[in-house]
Amino acid sequence: MQDDLLVAFPDAGRVDLFSLDVDTPSIVLKGSLEVPDATAVAVDDLDRDNDRDVLVTSGSLGRIYVFENLGPD
């Protein structure tokens, strides 16, 4: 995830994943993860299957959301 950026928008209920396009250079939106009141974001390979998993906490609901496989490490 060296050229990727995760940005939380708690009021909008989402976390956006951006990637750096080195050819242009520009930042491109790759996708959004729907999470109400996102308060923290972390990236790790939780299940050790050589991909990037995203963990997002929801402050108002007290839940942790896990999104699988954003691509290889």
Domain around 25:
4-67
CA 42 to chain centre: 7
Give the tokens for residue 67: 């999104």
CB under 8 Å to 54, separation ≥6 — which residues?
6, 15, 17, 33, 41, 42, 43, 66, 67, 70
| Per-residue model confidence as pLDDT tens digits over 14-57 | 999 898 888 888 999 988 999 999 999 988 888 888 878 889 99
- In degrees and rounded to multiples of 5, residue 60 shows phi and psi of -75, -30
Count up the domains in the chain and report the number.
1
Residue 73, in any domain of the structure: no
Residue 62, in any domain of the structure: yes
pTM for the predicted model, two decimal places: 0.73
Q: Output DSSP code: residue 72.
A: B
Residue 16, in any domain of the structure: yes
Query: Above 50 in pLDDT, residue 1?
Result: no
Residue 72, in any domain of the structure: no
Q: Are 54 and 15 in contact (CB under 8 A)?
A: yes
Residue 60, in any domain of the structure: yes
